[in-house]
Amino acid sequence: MGQRPGDLSAPARLAGPDEGIGADELALATRNHGLPLEALRHDVTPPGLHYVLTHYDIPYVPDAGAWRLTVDGHVRTPLDLSLADLLSFPQVTTRVTLECAGNGRALLTPRPVSQPWLVEAVGTADWTGVPLRRLLAEAGADPAAVDVVFTGADHGVERGVEQDYQRALPLSVATGDDPQVLVATAMNGAPLPPQHGRPLRLIVPGWYGMAQVKWLRSVTVGDVPFTGFQQSVAYRIRRTPDEEGEPVTRIAPRALLVPPGFPDFMSRTRVVRPGPVRLSGRAWSGQAPVSSVEVSTDGGAHWEPAVLDPVVDGHRWAWRAWHHTWTATPGEHAVGTRASDADGHVQPLDQHWNRGGLANNAVCFVRVVCVADACWP
Ligand SMILES: Nc1nc2c(c(=O)[nH]1)N[C@H]1C(S)=C(S)[C@@H](COP(=O)(O)O)O[C@H]1N2
Ligand SMILES: [Mo]
């Protein structure tokens, strides 16, 4: 008997009580990098600093001109489009904060063994492309259809299932205008870089990363619910292995801090001087607009309101800046922030643990040591 792809995958598992990050997790972490948190200072994340997550390999696309995007399934007229065809439609640019649903996973106890994100799986870009609803209207999607399935050009095996990366959206979301879903061909005014989906990707503002299908090659309108691996096995909130679980959809609120002062190389502990320290950062939610940000410098015992900057130029799907002045006193401090949104969602202090380590938006604290003077050996 030959080996089958299914034999290659280890089953999903949780790390043991004192089990450190394994070589398998490290291999994923070096491929899938986060946003260096000091880059939270930028409204739009500079090239190369946006987080990256790719399940399999980044496809090699030497000639974007040869790429085809098909729109088929339950449609009146199937489409077969080149990049040039897509660029002939009216283009829309939307500033969007993307966050991986696994952000915060490695902070959970027990830790689900997977891409071990701390809190840095986030970034903001200006995405330009054709509204998906325009393409679905052009093809004449059946209004009675259920799901629209998006297929990427990347291929792999995951937990024993060989697959193309595929995700679906309900037809109402795919054709909706709040948010307006884009088939994006540009990131920050330039063609998409290979790691972000060259030459085409889906952008679903407000939804977690798994919905943002990169290297998009087909859009298929279906009359039955999509049950592919990334929809019905992965990306579901489950506490036990056997339950059906809730699907992961929109981004829960989160605020993050630009690490104050300067870091210790290994521990990343921050060092500040006594006196006023300007704390700043970003906050976002895909569920409703962010309504407030609070800051604690004592590990969550007391909270003070931060100043939340206005939404910039109508960019409602992008993170917002906040700031707060803290008077630091010598000693050790645990500095954290939490966001609330207009629908009453507040970042929890306790983890909402689930087996996939998904949508963990628990507040996290940064260790800050305040010392009066430099005193180096
Ligand atoms: N084709 C394809 N699209 C994909 C993925 C993938 O592995 N293959 N990963 C998804 C996940 S889980 C995330 S978090 C986002 C990351 O987008 P980025 O790398 O541009 O930040 O892409 C999504 N789109
Ligand atoms: Mo992700």
Distance 305 CA to ligand 2 centre (A): 31
* C-alpha span between 361 and 367 (Å, rounded): 18
Are 155 and 59 in the same domain?
yes
For residues 242 and 268, membership in a common domain is answered with: no
Question: Are residue 221 and residue 260 in the same domain, yes or no?
Answer: no
The residue type at 240: T
Query: What pLDDT is attached to residue 226?
Result: 98
In a domain, 377, yes or no: no
Per-residue pLDDT tens digits of the chain, which is 377 residues long? 578 777 889 889 999 999 999 999 999 999 999 999 999 999 999 989 999 999 999 999 999 999 999 999 999 999 999 999 999 999 999 999 999 999 999 999 999 999 999 999 999 999 999 999 999 999 999 999 999 999 999 999 999 999 999 999 999 999 999 999 999 999 999 999 999 999 999 999 999 999 999 999 999 999 999 999 999 999 999 999 999 999 999 999 999 999 999 999 999 999 999 999 999 999 999 999 999 999 999 999 999 999 999 998 999 999 999 999 999 999 999 999 999 999 999 999 999 999 999 999 999 999 999 999 765 55
* pTM for the structure as a whole: 0.97
In-domain check, residue 11: yes
Final residue of a domain: which of 200, 228, 247?
A: 247
Q: Of the candidates 247, 266, 285, which is a domain's last residue?
A: 247
Indicate whether 26 and 46 sit together in one domain: yes
In this structure, the residues whose C-beta lies within 6 A of any atom of ligand 1 are 50-55, 98, 100, 152, 154, 165, 195-196, 209-210, 212-215
Best mutation site among 35, 52, 53, 229 for ligand 1 pocket (most ligand atoms within 8 Å of CB): 53
**CB-based contacts of 137, cutoff 8 Å, min separation 6:** 175
Q: CATH code at 281?
A: 2.60.40.650
Number of structural domains found in the chain: 2
| Residue indicated by tokens 């190369």 | 48
Q: What is the CATH number of the domain that holds 164?
A: 3.90.420.10
pLDDT (0 to 100) of residue 375: 59
Decide which of 230, 247, 264 is a domain's last residue.
Answer: 247
CA of 54 to the centre of ligand 1 (A): 5
Say which amino acid occupies 290.
V
| Owning domain of residue 328 | 254-370
Question: Is 32 part of a structural domain of the chain?
Answer: yes
Q: For residues 277 and 173, state if they share a domain.
A: no
Residue among 338, 357, 240, 343 at smallest CA distance from 296: 338
Q: Does residue 302 share a domain with residue 190?
A: no
Q: Mark out the alpha helices in 248-312 (DSSP H runs).
A: none
